[in-house]
């Protein structure tokens, strides 16, 4: 792995911090991601000879699976703000023998530079729009680059509940719970990964919206025939290795627990927190929740 890939917050997370550098956890994460990708591509309804763009394409997993599904006639534009990730995806396209079907564009979702208006049949996004500050602008750009009759298929995480939990911890501490040492440490952990005030939530790309907001914003952008599904899963946390648990991170902007304890906990606090949490992790008693929104919609064709 190249140094610039590790130093870039997007590629460093996707290729390492998401799974803590652990091969077994990486395989579990990939299996989950593969399920999300399949759901997005089901909504895309690809057919041969379409032109598709994947916004925030990351390591290219949506593009590669789309080409497998639709065949050699499919053309895919991969866009991302991370130059290291685009280099990684370009190299992967060569290795897979599909480079001739791909174009790589470095740009943000709010301004899809290099993509002509009404030039695409399908636009997909998988865990990319969640990190965009100006979601109305991004959806307007998706609308612009689609041909009349084209469609979007999006699969995005919703982190609002995690931020609200961090806010609730803060409120409990401020309203008489300051003597609860374990709660204070839990709050330090969660507040380092998610906004913990209403103002901070409103300013955060990942916490300022709900699934209904995404539906409303897509409709306001001009899309029609909208269909949204919210998938919520609460399962036992599969990571039972304490070192791996501490190294993993829930999103690209979040430090892992190990980094948080090193940076923000005193040695005494680290000892107290590990004594309380580590047995729960290693016994598999912790649960983890995922919330994914899948949204499909079309650009009206008013030509006839």
Percent over 90 (pLDDT), the chain: 94
232 and 177 inside one domain: no
Confidence of residue 1 (pLDDT cuts 50, 70, 90): very low
CATH classification of the domain holding 107: 3.40.50.150
What CA–CA distance (Å, rounded) separates 24 from 86?
A: 25
82 and 15 inside one domain: yes
Within-domain flag for 225: yes
227 and 80 inside one domain: yes
Question: Is 6 exposed, middle or buried (CB count within 10 Å of its CB: 0-12, 13-18, 19+)?
Answer: middle
What CA–CA distance (Å, rounded) separates 294 from 300?
A: 20
The per-residue pLDDT of the chain, averaged, comes to 95
Q: Which residue has the higher pLDDT, 10 or 7?
A: 10
Q: Which of 7-16, 173-182, 254-263, 268-277 has the lowest mean pLDDT?
A: 173-182
| Closest listed residue to residue 229, CA positions, set 207, 212, 216, 217 | 212
What backbone phi and psi angles, to 5 degrees, belong to 37? -60, -45
253 and 104 inside one domain: no
What CA–CA distance (Å, rounded) separates 5 from 99?
A: 21
The pLDDT, as a whole number, for residue 4 is: 52
pLDDT at residue 3 above 60?
A: no
Within-domain flag for 115: yes
Within-domain flag for 25: yes
Question: Is 222 exposed, middle or buried (CB count within 10 Å of its CB: 0-12, 13-18, 19+)?
Answer: middle
Tens digits of residue pLDDT in 45-58 = 999 999 999 999 99
Tens digits of residue pLDDT in 88-140 = 999 999 999 999 999 999 999 999 998 999 999 999 999 999 999 999 999 99
pLDDT at residue 5 above 70?
A: no
82 and 140 inside one domain: yes
Tens digits of residue pLDDT in 26-82 = 999 999 999 999 999 999 999 999 999 999 999 999 999 999 999 999 999 999 999
The pLDDT, as a whole number, for residue 148 is: 98
Confidence of residue 155 (pLDDT cuts 50, 70, 90): very high
Within-domain flag for 303: no
Confidence of residue 179 (pLDDT cuts 50, 70, 90): confident
192 and 224 inside one domain: no
What CA–CA distance (Å, rounded) separates 25 from 245?
A: 10
pLDDT at residue 185 above 60?
A: yes
58 and 127 inside one domain: yes
The whole-model pTM stands at 0.94
31 and 147 inside one domain: yes
Element (H, E) at 180: none
What CA–CA distance (Å, rounded) separates 77 from 264?
A: 42
195 and 223 inside one domain: no
Within-domain flag for 204: no
pLDDT at residue 2 above 60?
A: no
Whether the CB-CB separation of 247 and 20 falls below 8 Å is answered with: yes
Within-domain flag for 244: yes
Within-domain flag for 121: yes
What CA–CA distance (Å, rounded) separates 220 from 143?
A: 11
128 and 30 inside one domain: yes
pLDDT at residue 173 above 60?
A: yes
Percent over 70 (pLDDT), the chain: 96
139 and 213 inside one domain: yes
Domain residue limits at 259: 160-199+238-285
Instruction: Provide the domain count of the chain.
Output: 2
Within-domain flag for 254: yes
185 and 82 inside one domain: no
């Amino acid at each position: 792995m190249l140094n610039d890939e590790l130093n870039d917050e997007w590629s460093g997370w996707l290729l390492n911090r998401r799974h803590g550098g652990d091969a077994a956890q990486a395989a579990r994460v990939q299996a989950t991601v593969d399920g999300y990708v399949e759901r997005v591509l089901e909504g895309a309804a690809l057919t041969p000879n379409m032109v598709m763009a994947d916004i925030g394409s990351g390591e290219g997993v949506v593009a590669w699976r789309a080409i497998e599904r639709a065949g050699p006639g499919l053309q895919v534009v991969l866009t991302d703000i991370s130059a290291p990730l685009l280099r990684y995806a370009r190299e992967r396209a060569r290795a897979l023998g599909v480079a001739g079907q791909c174009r790589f564009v470095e740009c943000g979702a709010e301004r899809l530079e290099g993509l002509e208006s009404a030039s695409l049949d399908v636009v997909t996004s998988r865990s990319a729009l969640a990190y965009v500050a100006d979601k109305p602008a991004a959806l307007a750009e998706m609308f612009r680059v689609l041909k009349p009759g084209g469609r979007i298929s999006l699969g995005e995480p919703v982190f609002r509940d995690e931020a609200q939990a961090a806010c609730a911890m803060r409120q409990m501490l401020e309203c008489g719970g300051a003597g609860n040492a374990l709660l204070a440490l839990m709050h330090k952990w969660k507040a380092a990964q998610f906004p913990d005030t209403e103002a901070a939530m409103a300013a955060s790309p990942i916490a300022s919206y709900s699934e209904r907001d995404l539906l409303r914003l897509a409709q306001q952008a001009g899309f029609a025939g909208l269909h949204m599904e919210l998938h919520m899963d609460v399962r036992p946390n599969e990571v039972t290795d304490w070192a791996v648990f501490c190294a993993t991170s829930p999103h690209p902007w979040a430090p892992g627990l190990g980094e948080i304890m090193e940076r923000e906990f005193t040695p005494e606090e680290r000892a107290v927190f590990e004594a309380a949490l580590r047995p729960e992790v290693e016994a598999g008693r912790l649960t983890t929740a995922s919330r994914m929104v899948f949204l499909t919609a079309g650009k009206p064709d008013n030509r006839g």
